[in-house]
């Protein structure tokens, strides 16, 4: 039977892998609010209506279907991680991602369980799989992969789980552009260099709860529960910045906001649009199902209470 630590790690990995995919396809960076303010101090914000330009960017990026992604995400004291891989959004989200935990309590938990600090995640239309390496294999008879379905995660996390499920199945790089269009205060900052590419910088601030409620398929009760979860976490607004090249393709996206555990700061770079993405499911003999892990934990808890 799996230990409580490994089961707890399994849930931590679920969150890490899910957030990594959403960040990669829905975006973020260090050039968020602070970057925009710095640019504004150096020169006045360009007074140009950016709506038409962003509509073109949304369409062009959405039609590209795939890209190579690289990013960094920090969620206060909970987690810091780096991710690199490829994503395809032509029919749901599929792809592979290498995730390295660099700091935070979640990273400590994973490492204490025997993990190396680096994990591979493979994303499919209805779920994803995470390679936990030898730390998991030693307790599962050689099964090093945990398989997660979005339906199972939604049941565990409530309203926020339903949002995660929706985002994991439908988020694409163009979603960051849609968020800016919905913010109501989007502005064109100016031209900047992004890894040697001349790009146009746009910035805006969104109300996280209201935007999520509008763009997800939650009912009234789920929206109310989500807003309470976000309020309890101290999440209110986020500043979103995007950088677009001359071909109307997203090359960089950042998000920045505040949580009770500290600052949310995410940055993602996009390149090689149209790259081929091929994802294979891990061998069944090397895979343990997350739902089964939860059943074992519930059984162990019930046994201890009786």
Which region, left, alpha or beta, applies to residue 136 given φ > 0 means left and ψ of -120 to 50 means alpha?
A: alpha
pLDDT of res. 158? 61
Instruction: Record the pTM.
Output: 0.76
pLDDT of res. 44? 36
pLDDT of res. 52? 75
Q: Which residues in the chain land under pLDDT 70? A: 1-50, 113-115, 157-172, 175-176, 179, 182-184, 208-236, 261, 296-306
Give the CA distances from residue 164 to residues 14, 43, 170, 249, in Å, rounded to whole numbers and listed in that order: 11, 38, 10, 25
Which domains does the chain carry?
4-300 (2.50.20.20)
Radius of gyration of the chain (CA): 20
Q: CA 57, CA 202: separation in Å to the nearest integer?
A: 11
pLDDT of res. 25? 58
Give the CA distances from residue 198 to residues 38, 82, 249, 256, in Å, rounded to whole numbers and listed in that order: 18, 24, 12, 23
pLDDT of res. 276? 94
pLDDT of res. 48? 43
> pLDDT digit string (tens) for 218-262?
566 665 665 665 666 556 677 889 999 999 999 999 988 877 767
pLDDT of res. 37? 36
- Please, which residues bridge with residue 206 across strands? 238
**CA dihedral defined by 215, 218, 222, 227, rounded to 10 degrees?**
0
C-alpha 205: how far from its chain's center?
A: 18
pLDDT of res. 172? 67
- What H or E segment, with its residue span, contains residue 79? strand 79-88
């Amino acid at each position: 039977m799996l230990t409580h630590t490994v089961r707890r790690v399994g849930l931590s990995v679920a969150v890490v892998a899910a957030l990594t995919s959403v960040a990669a396809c829905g975006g973020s960076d260090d050039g968020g609010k602070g970057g925009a303010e710095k640019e504004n101090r150096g020169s006045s914000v360009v007074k140009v209506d950016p709506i038409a330009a962003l509509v073109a960017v949304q369409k062009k990026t959405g039609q590209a279907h795939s890209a190579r992604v690289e990013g960094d995400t920090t969620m206060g004291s909970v987690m810091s991680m780096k991710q690199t891989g490829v994503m395809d959004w032509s029919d749901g989200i599929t792809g592979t991602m290498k995730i390295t935990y660099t700091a935070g309590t979640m990273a400590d938990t994973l490492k204490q369980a025997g993990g190396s600090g680096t994990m591979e995640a493979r994303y499919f239309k209805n779920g994803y799989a995470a390679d936990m390496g030898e730390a998991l294999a030693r307790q599962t008879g050689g099964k090093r992969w945990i398989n997660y379905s979005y339906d199972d995660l939604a049941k565990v996390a409530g309203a926020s789980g339903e949002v995660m499920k929706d985002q994991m199945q439908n988020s694409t790089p163009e979603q960051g552009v849609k968020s800016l269009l919905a913010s109501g205060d989007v502005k064109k900052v100016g031209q900047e260099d992004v890894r040697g590419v001349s790009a146009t910088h746009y910035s805006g601030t969104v109300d996280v709860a209201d935007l999520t409620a509008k763009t997800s398929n939650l009912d009234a009760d789920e929206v109310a529960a989500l807003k309470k979860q976000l309020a309890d976490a101290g999440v209110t607004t986020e500043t979103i910045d995007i950088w677009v090249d001359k071909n109307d393709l997203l090359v960089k996206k950042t998000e920045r906001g505040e949580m009770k555990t500290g600052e949310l700061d995410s940055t993602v770079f996009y390149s090689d649009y149209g790259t081929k993405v091929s994802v294979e499911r891990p061998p069944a003999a090397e895979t343990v199902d997350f739902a089964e892990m939860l059943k074992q934990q519930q059984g162990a808890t019930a046994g201890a209470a009786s």
